[in-house]
Structure 1
Amino acid sequence: MLNKRLLRYLLAGSAVLTASAAFAQAQPPIKIGFMVTLTGPLGIVGQEQYDGFMQAVEERGGKLGGVPVEILKEDDQFKPEVATQIVTKLIERDHVPIITGISGSNVAMAVAKSVTDKGVFLVSTNAGPSPLAGAGCSPNMFVASWQNDMQSESVGRYATDRGYKRIVALAPNYQAGKDYIGGFKRYYKGTLVNEIYTPLNQIDFSAEISQIAADKPDAIFAFYPGALGIAFVRQYQLAGLSKTIPILSAGILEIPAVTALKDSALGALGGTFWSPDIDNAANKHFVENFEKKHDRIPSTWAAQGYDGALLLDSAIAKVKGDVADKDAFRVALKAADFKSVRGNFKFNNNNFPIQDMRVVEAVKDAKGRYTVRTVATPLKDHQDAFHTQCPMK
């Protein structure tokens, strides 16, 4: 028989283990603010980000890193002033340690410093404006998508490789639009005949299309996300220009736009880091499960949201749910210890990705669905142009 002292020791140890297990089970969920654009012409961008992010959460039983999470979904309406009010509420009233999402670069520029200066982690699953990749970088901001210029840089290289001598570039007149055209120019070695910036929510492009017809370029480069891209391509085709002046793009050839445009989109080319046909286990799993749940092919925006959740999943697991240990959580995020749907992924010194940049073409798949496929990878293990301006090592 056990002596009384040993029995008391074992019983005490059992009580401690039971209490520890009960505490772990009772651990409150980690609150994560998920702020994206859900209304207006860019509403599809935010909804796709959310659908991709929540797929990863649901696959893990409502947990990330083995810890329950509470996702506080917010619509910034693509308005910096609305976004500022939302992040104030998320931080001061809801006490979130993490804010993710962020569809627009105008929103990112408005809220990034106020969020990160307060010790809250900002994980963007879309916007990657150049000022935040350079001198405005922060150890508390991580971008799980791309730096804005990167997608158009791949198109600029591709246009050069294809021998296009004269190109007209178009984009909305805001930070992302300027970044995208800037990225294209950085790698395009021909002549930029015209550089056109349109009002942010303009959907009538008749004047711009007439100008393109007058300029007679070899091709055009256009950045128009969401409904803006659908409107532009439809009007471009109706004007008959798509038959003679090819469209090179970034932010247009997303699955929702290609599906809406149908044959109008076929043959158009665009820059990206991801496409549904990337051949790795993580991507096959993501695409298959997304199609089962939503009955549609996922977009790049959804892939970004999914990867953003996988990044958080890996980092939360590394700190065993203790996101209050900010130094440890920061190191865990930087490690990016997850299998990305895009394949190669690691963070640069500025917490923006180093990754392969592709060019995709709008096509029909074997089931007759409108989608995109990779036709080239002009830039491999590509770093953004601004990381050397970031003081972080």
Structure 2
Amino acid sequence: MPMLKRAALAAALCTAFAAQAADSVKVGIALDISGPFAALGAESRDGFDLAIEKLGGKLGGLPAEVVKTDFGGSPEQAVQLVQRYLQREKIDFFTGPIASNSALAVGPALFAAKVPFISSNPGPSPYAGKQCNPYFFGQYQNDTYDEAAGKLANEKGYKNMVIVAPNYPAGKDHLNGFKRLYKGALKDEIYTKVGQIDYAAEIAQIRAAKPDAVFFFLPGAMGINFVKQFVGGGLKDIPLVAPGFSADQDVIQAVGEPMLGLYNTAHWTHDLQIPANAEFVAAFRKKYDGRYPTVYAAMAYDTIMAIDAAVRDVGGRIEDRAAVAAALAKPSFQSVRGEFAYGRNHYPVQNYYLRVVDKDAEGKLTNKLVGTVLEKHQDAYVGECGM
């Protein structure tokens, strides 16, 4: 056969092969079931499981294999896990880590392999700006929750504040976001250790500063211990303001009555009046003994729904990674947060809401929607993205 004809035939066969739908979809999930973010990882796992159950174990109509592995919140272990997922498991999609340092650690290998990384939580600023990538998709950008909180603090008339966060990438993003919109004075800016449980020194600093209010980003067990010690240290008369991660259902359940009246900001709340959200919350409470879902569970659920929609939208041709990324960038699923669109950096343009810890009709402590703080809000880093 002449050389040109052989080349043309090979090209035609490649095109035909690429057009065929895959037989199945494989998703790799890095779970934080142990380590400093264990409670949050468990919430994410429950959201993933509920979505997969709702879809009957399929994604986009194809049989789905979901590989879940606990990596203990260690960025180093996350890198090793992703290498195994890519080399041995041959995953088609990746999600799962809670922390931004883990997301930043695993990104390069995933992007080099053109495996879509749909974040089920972290929204680190580098991926929103200069390190944006066609294969990364965020649920929110870290700073945005706190930009909303900064605006709230202005509206509350807090003239001077102390702000607190763990010393890691997300902690710095969250405090930077608060400072971006807060117009008052900062009496102190405190960085704690990741996983810290004793806040005696920090509470002494706050007591000495005598602020009008305290803003804190301390998710999971860190937030639980901080609020308990804050109130126990006699500072209950100083108002607390937080992003939703520091006042979510896991923290509320563990702390109890001292959480009443705490204002927090988030891109989602369980009482958001949207059909997809009402269905999700009802199914979650039925499956998990009546407890309300957290933001982490809601984002994990949305992650699976986004993958399902993208696989369906490309007709199962998941080997065409560029087409999959393009489908993810134009989400066609019904999100629990309602309508949203991606900016060019693949971070959402969406609403951010004010919630307050109150009691529901059954007397259970939970967040209640108060109103919208930021409408169709885009992160501050999109201008640095070259996509």
Quickly name the TM-score band, shorter chain normalised. over 0.9
Q: Retained in 1: the 8 A contact 2:36–2:194?
A: no
Partner of 1:184: 178
Partner of 1:66: 61
Partner of 1:142: 137
Q: 2:238 aligns with which of 222, 233, 245?
A: 245
1:251-290 matched pairs, under 5 angstroms:
251-290=245-284
CA distance in 1, matches of 2:188, 2:371: 26
Deviation at 1:28, TM superposition (A): 3.8
Q: Retained in 1: the 8 A contact 2:161–2:186?
A: yes
Q: 2:95 aligns with which of 80, 83, 100?
A: 100
Q: Retained in 2: the 8 A contact 1:344–1:356?
A: no
Partner of 1:7: none
CA distance in 2, matches of 1:323, 1:77: 30
Give 2:340's aligned amino acid: F
1:241 aligned counterpart, secondary structure = coil
Give 1:249's aligned amino acid: A
Partner of 1:76: 71
CA distance in 2, matches of 1:110, 1:40: 17
CA distance in 2, matches of 1:281, 1:376: 18
2:349 aligned counterpart, secondary structure = strand
CA distance in 1, matches of 2:369, 2:182: 20
Q: Are 2:33 and 1:38 equivalent residues in the alignment?
A: yes
Normalising by structure 1, we get a TM-score of: 0.91
1:1-393 matched pairs, under 5 angstroms:
28-143=23-138, 145-242=139-236, 244-250=237-243, 251-295=245-289, 296-392=291-387
How many residue pairs align between the two structures? 366
Q: Retained in 1: the 8 A contact 2:174–2:217?
A: yes
Normalising by structure 2, we get a TM-score of: 0.93
Partner of 2:5: none
Deviation at 1:95, TM superposition (A): 0.6
CA distance in 2, matches of 1:348, 1:280: 23
Give 2:135's aligned amino acid: N
Deviation at 1:50, TM superposition (A): 1.7
Tell me the alpha carbon deviations over residues 220-270 of structure 1, each in whole angstroms, 9 at most, x when there is no partner: 00000111110000000101212x210101221111111111101111111
Deviation at 1:29, TM superposition (A): 2.7
Give 2:33's aligned amino acid: L
Give 2:171's aligned amino acid: G
Percent of aligned pairs with the same amino acid:
42
Give 1:390's aligned amino acid: C
CA distance in 1, matches of 2:23, 2:313: 18
Deviation at 1:344, TM superposition (A): 2.6
CA distance in 2, matches of 1:201, 1:358: 27
2:89 aligned counterpart, secondary structure = coil
Q: Which runs of no fewer than 5 residues in structure 2 stay unpaired? A: 1-19
Give 2:330's aligned amino acid: A
User: What is the RMSD computed on CA atoms of the aligned residues?
Assistant: 1.2
Deviation at 1:69, TM superposition (A): 0.7
Deviation at 1:41, TM superposition (A): 3.2
CA distance in 1, matches of 2:297, 2:280: 10
Give 2:227's aligned amino acid: V
Q: Retained in 2: the 8 A contact 1:344–1:381?
A: no
CA distance in 2, matches of 1:257, 1:341: 21
Deviation at 1:76, TM superposition (A): 2.0
2:324 aligned counterpart, secondary structure = helix
1:316 aligned counterpart, secondary structure = helix
Deviation at 1:36, TM superposition (A): 2.5
Deviation at 1:363, TM superposition (A): 1.1
Deviation at 1:350, TM superposition (A): 0.3
Higher gyration radius (CA): 1
